[in-house]
Amino acid sequence: MARTILFNKPFGVLSQFTDAGSPQARPTLSAFIDVPGVYPAGRLDRDSEGLLVLTDDGRLQAQIADPQHKLAKTYLVQVEGAPDDTDLQPLRAGVTLKDGPTRPAQVRLIAPPALWVRVPPVRFRKSVPDRWIEITLREGRNRQVRRMTAHIGFPTLRLVRWRVGDWAIDDLIPGQWRDA
């Protein structure tokens, strides 16, 4: 029977089990998950947090990671600046990045979510406001959410993946995992 694990990846942790090629050791999944045979289904950048799905089922892993399957992934994103609904419209239509046009995203302004404290904290500047948005994508390019928010003039300060398909982070704290 296949095993699927939901993991709340902390900020600064690589979405892999080893970091062999790095001159300075960086935290990896092996510091948190000691389950043989499971691998991440997709990636989450080192400077992003939140839900990472791991499985020992190659077919499921491909289905989660492959954009052809259009599995929805939802992110809570703190952006620099104060976008309004009109500012977010280009993301809903799809924007053109250096690697081509994105698919339309579901995007909405949200109240600041009740999240764990990030270590290190997001930089705070009194003179620059910030807002939270929720973005749901059905593709997964490298650093896509960050590039999309920067494209419309609101750089990402904090990025938390909250949901992958029907799986959600729910009450998992950073560094914690559970079987799906």
Lowest-pLDDT choice from 7-11, 66-70, 73-77, 139-143: 66-70
Strands 106-110 and 130-137: antiparallel
The reported pLDDT for the residue numbered 126 is 79
Whole-number Å distance between alpha carbons of 111 and 133 = 8
pLDDT at 28 over 90: yes
The question of whether 57 is a catalytic residue gets the answer no
pLDDT tens for 99-131 read 999 999 999 999 999 999 998 888 877 788 999
Phi, psi angle pair for 149, to nearest 5°: -70, -35
Q: What DSSP assignment string belongs to 8-23?
A: EEPTT--SSS--TT-S
For residue 27, give the DSSP letter.
Answer: -
Which of 19, 34, 45, 179 is catalytic? The answer is: 45
Interhelix angle 144-151/85-93, nearest 10 degrees: 130
pLDDT in tens, 54-101: 999 999 998 888 777 788 999 999 999 999 999 999 999 999 999 999
Q: What is the DSSP letter of 68?
A: G
